[in-house]
């Protein structure tokens, strides 16, 4: 498991722990006699940087006098503020995690992790989820590559064509399209794509030796009597 995967795994638990610790700081700060705005400031600081501000708060607490006694009504009021505080913080965390789970970059990162783990089906699902959020030609090309490897040639061809129409700059797209047309026995269309690829910058500038050689052999075989 990579460091990024481990962080994604423990982050929700860490946020919840920080929320409960900061709520405890809010309750305890009022108990030892700090005013509400000081208590709230300590709580928010602990929420943001618990490993720094929690030890600092404990040091401050050691130098405070013994807790003062309050009436029942005051105790209820002092407990109501932390309850509202915790509810708001948990709601913010839940909304933030939900929005993050729907983020394009999150889906792309998960797709990359799935590919590294050899989970092609998972990568395909994540690319599709990313496209549901934002239609992007580069993402369509990545999805097309995975669908091609999966053997879903018709869907892969559709994604490559959409990527090309969307302005994806990858010069190998005509080659990928030609190979898929060949696989689908659409020989004449495949030949047109091979020739288009041969006259593209990728071949004219010798940027793709292997693919250009395949395209030349394929075109020569079809053109020969």
CA angle 55, 65, 18 (to 5 degrees): 30
Whether 50 and 116 map to the same domain: the answer is: no
Task: Give the pLDDT of residue 31.
Answer: 84
Whether 66 and 108 map to the same domain: the answer is: no
Query: How many Å apart are CA 42 and CA 56, to the nearest integer?
Result: 9
Whether 161 and 205 map to the same domain: the answer is: yes
Structure tokens at 162: 């959409």
pLDDT: which is higher, 198 or 9? 198
Please state the domain count of the chain.
Answer: 2
Determine the average pLDDT of the residues in 93-106.
80
pTM reported for the whole predicted model: 0.63
Statement: residue 6 has pLDDT above 60? no
Domain containing residue 145: CATH number: 1.25.40.10
Give the residue from 101, 117, 144 where a domain finishes: 101
Give the residue from 86, 101, 116 where a domain finishes: 101
User: In 102-119, which residue ranges form alpha helices assigned H by DSSP?
Assistant: 104-116
Domain that holds residue 169: 104-223
Segment 137-158, tens digit of pLDDT: 999 999 999 999 999 999 999 9
Determine the average pLDDT of the residues in 97-122.
85
Statement: residue 41 has pLDDT above 80? yes
Statement: residue 135 has pLDDT above 90? yes
């Amino acid at each position: 498991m990579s460091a990024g995967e481990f962080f994604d795994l423990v982050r929700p638990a860490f946020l919840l722990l920080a929320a409960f610790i900061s709520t405890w700081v809010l309750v305890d700060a009022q108990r030892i006699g700090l005013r509400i705005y000081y208590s709230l400031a300590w709580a928010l600081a602990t929420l943001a940087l618990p490993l720094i501000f929690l030890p600092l708060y404990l040091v401050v607490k050691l130098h405070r006098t013994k807790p003062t006694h309050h009436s029942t009504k005051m105790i209820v009021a002092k407990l109501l503020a932390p309850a509202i505080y915790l509810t708001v913080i948990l709601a913010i965390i839940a909304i933030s995690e939900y929005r993050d789970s729907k983020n394009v970059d999150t889906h792309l990162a998960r797709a990359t992790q799935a590919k590294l783990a050899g989970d092609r089906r998972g990568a395909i699902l994540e690319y599709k989820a990313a496209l549901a959020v934002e239609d992007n030609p580069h993402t369509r090309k990545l999805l097309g590559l995975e669908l091609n490897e999966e053997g879903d040639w018709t869907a892969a061809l559709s994604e490559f064509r959409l990527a090309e129409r969307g302005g994806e700059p990858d010069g190998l797209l005509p080659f990928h399209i030609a190979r898929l047309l060949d696989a689908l026995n659409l020989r004449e269309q495949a030949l047109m794509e091979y020739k288009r690829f041969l006259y593209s910058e990728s071949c004219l500038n010798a940027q793709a030796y292997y693919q250009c050689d395949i395209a030349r052999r394929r075109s020569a075989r079809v053109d020969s009597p």
